[in-house]
Structure 1
Amino acid sequence: MSRTTIDFGIDLGTTNSAVAMLHGVQTEVIKNNDGDDTTPSAIWIDRRDRLYVGRAARDRSEADPENTCAEFKLRMGTAGQLQRFPASGRELSPEELSAEVLKSLRADVRTRTGEEIQAAVITVPAAFDLNACDATRRAAELAGLRYPVLLQEPTAAAHAYGFQATDDNAMWLVYDFGGGTFDAAVIQLRDGEFSVVGHAGDNFLGGKLIDWQIVEQLLIPAAIEQEPGLAGLSRGNPRWQVAVSKLKRAAEVAKVRLSRSDATDVLVDLSTGGELFELEYELRREDVERLAEPFVRRSIELCRQALADCGVGPADIGKVLMVGGQTMMPFVRDLVASGLGVPLEYDQDPMTVVARGAAIFAGAQPLPEAPTVAPAAGSYTARFEYPRMGPDEDPQVIGRIDGPGLTGLSVEVVNAEARPPWRSGKIQLSAEGAFVVVLRAERGRLNKYQVELTDATGARLPLSPDELRYTVGSVETQPMLTHAIGIGTADNKLHKLAERNAGLPARRSITLRTTEEVRPGNGVIRIPILEGVHQRADRNRRIGRLEVRGDQVSRAVPTGSELRLTIEIDISRLVRTTVYLPILDAEFEDSIRLDTESAPVTDELESAAQVERDRLDAVRREQESVGSPLADVMLQRIVDEQLVEKMENALRSAGDPAVAVEANQYVLDLRVAIDAVEDELTWPTLVQQAETVVAEAHDFILSHGSPSDRSELPVYERTVAEAIESRDADLLRQRLQELQIFCWRVLDRTPVGQINLFEDLSRQQYQMTNPATASRLIRDGEEAIRTEQYERLRSINLQLSTLIPAAPTTQDSFSTVELAPR
C-alpha cells in the first residue's frame, strides 16, 4: 500500500536543519551526503554560479563571506531582505535561501529512501510572526513541497518526548534554546492527549548571541592587543568581513568544545592587509559562561512568564524538556535547574528532537487524497474517515464504498498481525455504501488492518484502497495562536481579531468604515495587520497589510463606507482574508499581503533609537521628582534586561540586514518598556481624567439619552471602574474611548449634536474641494436649522464631510479605516 500519511518532519533551523521520518512508533533521522544527522543552514554560490548547501557552504564562509549566507531564518517574512552573492551576481530572498536548504533535505530523503516526497511537516519557532510563517510556506513550495504543514518547534519536541509516554495528567515545560530563537511552552497532558497551554518566546534570543559576545568581547580585543595592525577590527566594518567571519566560526566551534572541557585553544589566521597573523587565545569555560549568563537568565524569565500566563508555577511542572543546541552546555542546564527548581530531561538528542517530533506529528496527518475516479468495471473504491494516531485503543472508522450493486455487500476489517489475530466480523453496507467499525489497536507498534469486501455469497470483491493504519500515541488536541492578531485603525488604536492563546483554526470578523474615498483606478483601502497586545497600534509589530485598490473596484467607494473584514487562521498559522464591501456588494478574497514590512534603514533606526534614549532620560528625571515605587521597579527592569545595551549593540552592526531586523525589534521593546513607566508616572492624572469623563458622561446621558441609553450607561461606568482597579493605563484609555464613543452616538441622534457638527463643518468651507457646492449646502443647512429639519441637516452634514480634502497619504500611511460604530 502506498503512503497515506505525511510521515516526514523537517526542523528548518537557524544554524542547522534536519529531516526525520516515522516508522511505526520509531523515528529515523535521515543522514545527509556527509553522513551527518544535521545540515548547516548555510548557502554558498561560487563565481560559476554553482550553489552549495550545508557543510561545504558553512566551511567556505570563513574564506569567502561575501558569497556565503547563514542565519537567514531570522529574516523570514521581512521585505527587502535580498542577499547578494557578488561572485555570481545572484540575489536571493530569505525564503529562497530556505528553499535551497529544504531542497537539499528532500534530496537526502530521495537518496536514502528512494522517495520524492511532496509533503512534510516543517517546524517554526512558536514566537514566529504570521508573515514569517507565510514565508516558510512559500519556501516549502519553492522547494517542491506542495503540501507543507507548519508545526511549532516546542510542540514538535513535546511530540518526541510524549508520543509513547505513560505519564497522565501531567504538566511539562519545553525549554527550547536554539541557534537563533528561544521558546518556552507549557504542555498539559491529560488522558493521552496534550495541548500547549502557555507560551513565551523571543525570536532574537539564541546561541548566535553568545557566539557574537565571544567574538566582540574576547577574541577581537585579544587580536588587537596581540597585533596592532588589526586596529579597527569590528563586526560592522566591511574591511574586516573575512576576519570577523573566521572569528565567528571559531567561536562557534570553541563553544561546543567547552561543553566537555574547561578550556580550549582558539587559533585563527587573520590578515592585516598583506601580512598573515595567527591569533592564539585560550578560551575558558568560565568566560563563556559569564557572557552567556544574561541570555540564559532572560530565557528563564521567559519560562516564568509562560508559567504565570497560564496560572501555574514551577511546583506544578513535572519536568523541563531540554531542546536546542545550547542546552548541551552544562552551565545552561545548571542555571535552568537552579532557576526553576524543576527536574530536567535531556535523554533525546537536542539537535534532532524537533525533527523527530515533527515526523511523529506528520504520522497523524493524512496525505491529500487523489481526485476520486470512477471505479473500473466490477471493482470498488473506499473512503475512510478516522484518526491516524490517537490515545484510543478502540478508534472508530467511518467508511463508504462506491461501486456497482452495493445491495447485499459486507465489509470485514482484519488485523492478521495482532496476537491473537483480530477480526471485526462482517458489517453490512447501507444502501449508500456506508459503514462504521470500531477497531482494536495495540500500543507500541503500527497497527495494520485489511478491509475485505464480500458479496452475499462470501466471495471477495476487488477494493481500493483496502488497508487502514493506526498508531496508539499521545497527540496534540488543538494548536494555539501564540500572538494576538489585530488591525490598526486611523486613530492609532489596536482592534483585536484573535486573542493570544486562541485555539486554531480560528475565524473572526469585524466591521470597519473607510476614512478615504476610493475610485476606480485611484486610491486604496489599506488596513495594517498587527501582532501584539498594546492598545497603541504603533507599539505592536506590523506584519503586513490588507489592501483593496482602486483598480479592483467597479465604482466609487466614498469616505465612511462600511466594510466587513473576515480573517481565518489555520492550524499552521497561515492566513486567509476576505473583505466585503456592501456598497459594491463585492467580496475581495486573499487581499492580505504579509511580505510588505521591511526593517528600517540604519539612519531611520538611529533616529528612532535617539527618540527612545531621550524619552528614557525624561522619565528618569520625572521619576526623581515623583518617586513612584512601581516606576522604579520598571526602570530597573530596563537595566536588568539590558534593553539599551542590546539596542546599542545591534545598531552598531545594523548595516547587516539580519541585524537591522533585530535592532528594529530592540527599539520597539525599549519603546514599550518606557511606555509602561510613563503610564505609571501619569497614572494619578489619568485616573482623575477618567473620573471627570465618567461624571460628565453620566450627566449628559441622563439629560439627553433615551431610556435604553440610560440603562446601558452603568455597563460603561463599570468597565471604566474595573480598568482603574487593574491599573492598566492602556485598558483605561480604551474604556474611556468606548464611553466617549457611546456618548457621541447619543449626541449624534440629538439636534444639538447635528447643529454642533454643522457649525464645525461650516468653519472649513474654504478648504473644501468644491466651494460652490459647499456654499449651497451651508445655506441649506442654515435653513434646516431655522425650520428644525434635523434629519435633513444630518444628510447635509454627510454631504459636507465628503468635500473635506483627505490628508496627503503615502504607501506607508498607517491606515485608511476606523472601527465602525456599533
Structure 2
Amino acid sequence: MSQQINFGIDLGTTNSLISKFQNGTVEIFKNPFGQKETLPSVVAFRKDRIIVGDKARELIEKDPENVFSSFKRKMGTSESFFVPNTSDFKTPVELSALVLRELKNFIYTGEKPEAVIITIPASFDTIQSNATKKAGNDAGFREVLLLQEPIAASLAFANKQSNATSLEGQWLVYDLGGGTFDVALVKIVDGEMRVTDHEGDNYLGGVDFDIAIIEQLVIPALQQQHTFPDLLTEMRSARGKYNTLYHILLKKAEEVKVQLTGSPAAEIEFEITDAQGQTHDIYLTITREQFESIIYDRIQYSVDLVKKILDRNQLSAADIQEVVMIGGSTYIPLVKNLVASQLGIPVNCSVDPTTAVAVGAAWYAGTKTVSVPKTAENQPLAAGVPNIQFKMAYQKNTADKEEYFTAIVTGPVAGLSYRIVRTDGGFDSGIKPLQERISEMLLLAENTSNVFNLLVFDAAHNELAVQAPVIAISQGKFNIHGQPLPNDICIEIDDLENNTTKLELIFEKNAILPLRKTIIKEVMKTILRSGQDSLLINVLEGSRYAIPGSCVPLGMIEIKSTDLITDLVKGSDVEITLQISESRDLSVKAVLLMNEQEFSEVFNPLVRKINTAKLIDDIRQLRVKAADKIKSFKKSQQYELAATVQDIMTELDHISERLELLSDDDITDEKYQLEERKRKLAQHLDSTGKDQLIVEITELYFKRKEYCLWNIREEEDNARLSRYEKIVAAESAYLSSQSYYAIKAKIDELNDLSWEIRRNKPETWINAYYYYANISTDDYTDPQNAARFKEIGERALERKNYEELKVAVNQLYNLMPDTKKESDQLKGTGIG
C-alpha cells in the first residue's frame, strides 16, 4: 500500500539536514554524536575509513588533500576529486551520496526510508538536478523527488504562522546559502502557494566570501611582508606549493566570517614558508569593514537580481509584504542591511535561516506518497483481483474541517464494497457498497496533512489488492501549486534564411511542472538511406531569445540515414513530443510521419563537460560578433548600444584573462563560474539592440500583411481571405510578445500565402526570368547549361509557354553560385 514519503533533506553546500513530517509537526533529526542538527557537507578519506561531517572538517588542517567540501557547486559537471589516501577519484555525486548516507544515521527511530525529498537551488538546471537525484539513489533511496529551496523555505515560513489561512499578498524569499543564491516571488492563490518568478546564481554564496577573504585580504597582506612568487596560482593548483595551505585558509576564513557577524574584528593565524625556505608565523587582523568592502559587490549583485524580478513583474515595494531571509549567509549584517535599505521592503527573519529549507522539505514530504514499488509495476493483477480504476476529485488544500470527496469507479464493481480510513485512525467511513460513483464527507484533523486510504473488499469482506490512489488533503496548512521550470526548454531548428539555426520554445520559464507538448515540424532536407546525413532533435535549456550555442544541451536524438527504412524526403513531417516530470526527467519522442517510424529516449544528463580551450574559442567568436555589433551601432549613431556591447566585450576579455591563468589541474570551480558567466554574456549580447530589430521586423510585417491582402483582393479569393484572417487573428499577441522569431514566423505565413497566389500568375515567372537572365552567364556554376536555359526561357516567352518558362527559371536558380544561395550551405538539424 502506498504511504507518505515524510522525510526531507536539505543537501547544502556547507551543511546538510534531515527532517520528518509526522502528525502535523516537523522534527529535525540530530546527529547522535554531539546532538547537532546540522551535518557539515564535508567528506574525509583515511586509509582505513571514510569520515563525514564535523570530524572530517577537523581534518582539513591535518590532511587537507584527503578532505573534500563545497562539492555541491560542481554537481552536474565532469569534475572529479583525486583522493591520495585511496589512489582513487571521487565525483561530486559520490561525495554527496556519502553525506546523504550519513544523514540516515540521524534517524533514531530505526526507520529506513526508501523515498525522500531532496532540496535543490531553484536555478539548478536539468543536469544538476539529475545529478542530485543520482546521489540520492546511490545513497540507497529508491525514490528521490526534488524540491526547489525557495519553495521549501516558503512552506516553512507560511506554515509557521499562527493563522496561516489568513496569510495574503505576495512576498519574496531571499535565499543566500553557503554556495548558491536564489530569490523567488511567492503568492497564495486559493490556499496554495505559487512561485510566480525567480532568479538565482549557482555560484554565489558563503564560499565565495571565504575565497574573497583569502584572495583579497590575506594574500595581499602576505605579499606586502614577504616574497611569494605566483602565490595565488601556487595555492589554487592541485600540485601547487601552497595548495595545502589554501585548504587550511578556507576553513580559517570561514571561521573569521562567522566571528565577524557579531564582532567588529577577527584574527587569522597560520604558518607559511617563503621562497627562501624561511618559515613565518602570520597573524592578521581582519575587520568587519574590510570584510564588507570585499563582499559588497556580490551582495549588491544579489539585490540587483531581486530588483530584476520586481521590474519584470511591474511591482513596487508597496506590492510586497516582506522579504523572508533564508540561508546561513543572511546572518551577515551587511546582507540584511543592504536588502532592507535598497528595496524598502520589511525584512522578515522569523524563521531559522539554517533549518527553514529542511523544515519545508518535510512539510512537502508529508503531502507526497511513495510510488508503487518497481517490482510491482506493470505486473498482471493477481488471480481473482478485479481491474478497478478510480478517478478522484477533491480539494487538496482547505480551511474547512471536512472535505467533500467523490470518485468515478470503472471496472466490475458488482458485489464489491469499499472503506475509506484516515491513516491516523481519526476517520473511518465504514464498509459500503462499491458503485460506479461514490462520495464521502471526510473528517479532517486540523493544521496538518490528512492522508486517507481507500480499501476494496470482496463479497466475503476480504480485502483485495486493488491499487487505489492515496487521498491527501492539507487542512489549515499550505501546499504548493507546483514547481516552476527555472529556464526555457527549446529545440534547435534550422533558419535557412540566415544560414544558421535558432531556438523554438517548447516549455516556457516559470511554467508549472510536469509539462507535455507535441509539435509538428517539417523535414528541411532529403536524407537518403545510402547517404551519411542525419536528422537531429536537439533539446536545449536556456533563454529562448539566445543563440543555441549559449544554452545547455539536455539531450539529442540523432536519426541516422542507416536508421531509416526508406529515404526521408524534404517537406515531410516529423511529430515531436516532449514531456518533463516534476523532478525534471525529460522524455522525447520523434515520429517520422511519412516513414511511420518512431524514435524515443528518456534523457537523464548527469554531467556538463567544460573544455577550457573550447571555452576560450567560444569567447573569441563572441568577441567577433560583439565587434560587428559595435561597428553597426556606431554607423547608425546608436552610441549607447555600442557602449553596452563594449562593456560586454570588456567582460569577455576579463573571462579570457582568468581562463589563461587557470592551470590544467585547477582545483576550484572557477571554470564553471566563467562558463556560466560567458553564457549570460552571450544572452546579453544577443538581446542588445533587439528592440531595433523588433521595430524593423514589425514594419516588415505590416508591409507583408498589406501586400498579401492586396493579392487576395485582386484575385477575389474568399478561401485564401479566410486563411489570411486566421493568420492575423492573434496579431496583438505576437506583436506584443516582442519576439523577433514569433513575428518573423507570421511574416513567413503571409509570404507563403502570397506565393500561392503569385505562383500561378505569368508575370511572376516573367519577372523571375528577367532577373536570372540579367545575371552574367559566367557567374553561374555551369555557364554552358546556364546559356542553354536562358535560350529555352526566351523561346518560352515568345510562345507564351509559361510552364516551360517555370522549368527554365527553376533550372537557372539551381545553377546559381553558392555565394548567392548561402542558405543551401547550412548543415543544421534538418528540421524547421
Please tell me the TM-score bracket, short chain as reference: 0.7 to 0.9
Write out aligned runs for 1:245-260 (5 A).
245-260=247-262
1:444 aligns with 2:442: no
2:303 matches 1:303 = no
Q: Distance in 2 between matches of 1:809 and 1:103?
A: 56
Distance (whole Å) between structure 2 residues aligned to residue 327 and residue 276 of structure 1: 38
1:105 positional shift: 2.6
Moved more, 171-180 or 58-67: 58-67
Following superposition, the deviation at residue 597 of structure 1 comes to 4.7
The question of whether the paired residues in 2 share the 8 Å contact of 1:267 and 1:278 is answered with yes
Q: 1:275 to 1:624 in 2, by over 3 A?
A: same
Equivalents in 1 of 2:345, 2:393: separation in Å? Answer: 38
- State the secondary structure of the residue aligned to 1:510: strand
Query: Aligned residues, how many?
Result: 793
User: What corresponds to 1:171 in structure 2?
Assistant: 170
Paired residue type of 2:260: L
Tell me what 1:200 maps to. 199
**Helix, strand or coil at the partner of 1:137:** helix
Q: Counterpart of 1:228 in 2: which secondary structure?
A: coil
Secondary structure at the counterpart of residue 402 of structure 2: coil
Describe the shift of the 1:799–1:583 C-alpha distance in structure 2 as closer, same or farther (beyond 3 A): farther
Q: Does structure 2 retain, via aligned residues, the 8 Å contact 1:687–1:724?
A: no
- Verify the 8 A CA contact 1:481 1:502 in the aligned structure 2: yes
Say if 1:402 and 1:461 are closer, same or farther in 2 by CA, change over 3 A: farther
- Listed as ranges, the matches of 1:206-217 within 5 Å are 206-217=205-216
State whether structure 2 residue 292 is matched by structure 1 residue 289.
yes
Q: CA offsets per residue over residues 11-55 of structure 1, 9 Å max, x none?
A: 22223222211122221222345443223333444566x544333
Distance across 1 between alignment mates of 2:269 and 2:417: 77
Q: What's the counterpart of residue 710 of structure 2? A: 702
Tell me which amino acid in the other structure corresponds to 1:574: D
* 2:751 paired with 1:743: yes
1:158 equivalenced with 2:154 (yes/no):
yes
Q: Give the residue type in structure 1 aligned to 2:510.
A: N
Aligned in 2, Cα 1:668/1:565: closer, same or farther, shift over 3 Å?
same
SS in 1 for 2:79: coil
> Aligned to 1:100, what secondary structure does the other structure show?
helix
For the 8 Å contact 2:403–2:442, the answer to whether it is kept is yes
Task: Tell me the equivalent position of 1:269.
Answer: 271
Q: How do residues 380-779 of structure 1 correspond to structure 2 at under 5 angstroms? A: 390-392=397-399, 393-397=401-405, 407=415, 411=419, 424=429, 428-431=432-435, 435-445=438-448, 471-472=474-475, 473-491=477-495, 492-515=501-524, 517=527, 519=529, 522-538=532-548, 540-550=550-560, 552-590=563-601, 592=603, 594-595=605-606, 597-601=608-612, 603-609=613-619, 631=641, 634=644, 652-653=661-662, 655=664, 656=666, 658-679=669-690, 683=692, 687=695, 691=699, 695=703, 698-699=706-707, 702-703=710-711, 707=717, 731-732=739-740, 735-736=743-744, 738-740=746-748, 742-744=750-752, 746-747=754-755, 750=759
For residues 161 and 243 of structure 1, the distance between their equivalents in structure 2, rounded to whole angstroms, comes to: 41
Mapped contact 1:198–1:307 kept (Cα < 8 A):
no
Partner residue in 2 for 1:318: 321
SS of the aligned residue for 1:342 comes to: coil
Deviation at 1:775, TM superposition (A): 14
CA shift, 1:394, in A, is 1.8
Which residue does the alignment assign to 2:124?
128
CA deviation profile, 1:501-553 (whole Å, cap 9, x unmatched): 22222212222234553648954422332333353423642232322242543
Deviation at 1:583, TM superposition (A): 2.6
- Paired with 1:594 and 1:502, the residues of 2 have a C-alpha distance of 21
Is contact 1:378–1:404 with CA below 8 Å preserved after alignment?
no
Task: Label 1:30 to 1:121 Cα distance change in 2 as closer, same or farther (>3 A).
Answer: same
1:188/1:195 contact within 8 Å kept: yes
Q: Distance in 2 between matches of 1:403 and 1:746?
A: 55
* 1:816 alignment counterpart: 829
Offset of 1:71 from its aligned partner?
2.7
Change (3 A) 1:614 1:654: farther
1:278 match? 281
Shift of 1:391: 2.6
Q: For each residue in 1:368-394, what CA deviation from the matched residue of structure 2 results, as whole angstroms up to 9, or x when unmatched? A: 135489789999999896879633432
1:429/1:711 Cα in 2 relative to 1: closer, same or farther (>3 Å)? closer
Report the AA paired with residue 31 of structure 1.
K
Q: Give the whole-Å Cα distance in 2 for the aligned partners of 1:455 and 1:623.
A: 79
Please give the secondary structure, in 1, of the residue aligned with 2:353: coil
CA shift, 1:342, in A, is 2.0
Q: TM-score, normalised by structure 2?
A: 0.80
Cα deviation, 1:458-513, whole Å, max 9, x if unaligned, reads: x9866889998765221112322221211222333221011222222221222223
Distance, in Å, in 1 between the alignment partners of 2:28 and 2:189 is 29
The Cα shift of 1:324 comes to 0.9
Q: Deviations over 1:654-673 (max 9, x none)?
A: 75462211101212323333
Deviation, structure 1 residue 102:
2.5
Code of the residue aligned with 2:511 in structure 1: it is A
**Counterpart in the other structure of 2:498:** none
Stretches of structure 2 that go unaligned for 5 or more consecutive residues are 496-500
Specify the code of the residue in structure 1 equivalent to 2:398: P
Closer, same or farther in 2 for the Cα pair 1:564/1:692, shift >3 Å? closer
Q: Post-superposition shift, 1:406?
A: 6.4
Instruction: Note if contact 1:76-1:95 (Cα within 8 Å) is conserved in structure 2.
Output: yes
SS at match of 1:442: coil
Q: Is the 8 A contact 1:488 1:814 kept in 2?
A: no
Tell me, in whole angstroms, the C-alpha distance in 2 between the residues paired with 1:204 and 1:555. 49
Counterparts in 2 of 1:815 and 1:175: CA distance versus 1, 3 Å: farther
Any idea what SS the aligned residue of 2:325 has? Answer: strand
> How many Å separate the matches in 2 of 1:58 and 1:809?
60
- TM-score, length basis structure 1: 0.81
Amino acid of the structure 1 residue aligned with 2:349: Y
Note the aligned Cα RMSD (angstroms): 5.0
CA distance in 2, matches of 1:712, 1:309: 35
Work out whether residues 366 and 449 of structure 2, in 8 Å CA contact, stay in contact via their aligned partners in 1.
Answer: no
Question: Is the 1:363–1:388 Cα contact (8 Å) retained in structure 2?
Answer: no
Do 2:44 and 2:51's aligned partners in 1 also have CA atoms closer than 8 Å?
yes
* Deviation of the 1:703 alpha carbon: 4.6
1:338 aligned to 2:338? no
Report how far residue 354 of structure 1 moved: 0.8
Return the offset for 1:250: 1.5
Alignment of 1:103-114 (within 5 A): 103-109=101-107, 112-114=108-110
Aligned with residue 244 of structure 1, among 239, 246, 250: 246
The 3 A distance-change label for structure 1 pair 232 and 699 is: same
Residue 362 of structure 1 deviates from its aligned partner by 0.8
Q: Distance in 2 between matches of 1:416 and 1:180?
A: 40
Please say which of residues 340-349 and 578-587 is displaced more in the overlay.
340-349
Q: What SS is found at the alignment partner of 1:331? A: helix
For structure 1, list consecutive stretches of 5 or more residues without a partner in the other structure: none
The alpha-carbon deviation at position 316 of structure 1 amounts to 1.7
Deviations 1:246-297 (A, max 9, x none): 2222111211121121111111233447554332111111111112211111
Kept in 1: contact 2:128–2:607 (CA 8 A): no
Q: Structure 1 stretch 12-21 or stretch 254-263: which is displaced more?
A: 12-21
1:211 to partner: Cα distance: 1.7
Instruction: Give the conservation status (yes or no) of the 8 Å contact 1:364–1:389.
Output: no
**SS class of match (1:493):** strand
Name the SS for the 2:184 alignment partner: strand
Partner of 1:228: 227
The answer on whether the counterparts of 1:568 and 1:577 sit within 8 Å (CA) in structure 2 is: yes
Amino acid at match of 2:515: A
In 2, are the aligned partners of 1:41 and 1:70 still within 8 Å (CA)?
Answer: yes
The alignment partner of 1:512 has SS state of strand
1:816: Cα distance to partner? Answer: 1.1
Alignment match, 1:37? 37
Equivalent residues of 2:8, 2:358 under 8 A apart: yes
Q: Is the 8 A contact 1:777 1:800 kept in 2?
A: no
Taking structure 1 as reference, are residues 784 and 567 closer, same or farther at Cα in structure 2, changes over 3 Å only? farther
Decide whether aligned partners of structure 1 residues 361 and 259 sit closer, same or farther in structure 2, where only a CA change above 3 A counts: same
**Aligned-partner Cα distance in 2 for 1:721–1:412:** 51
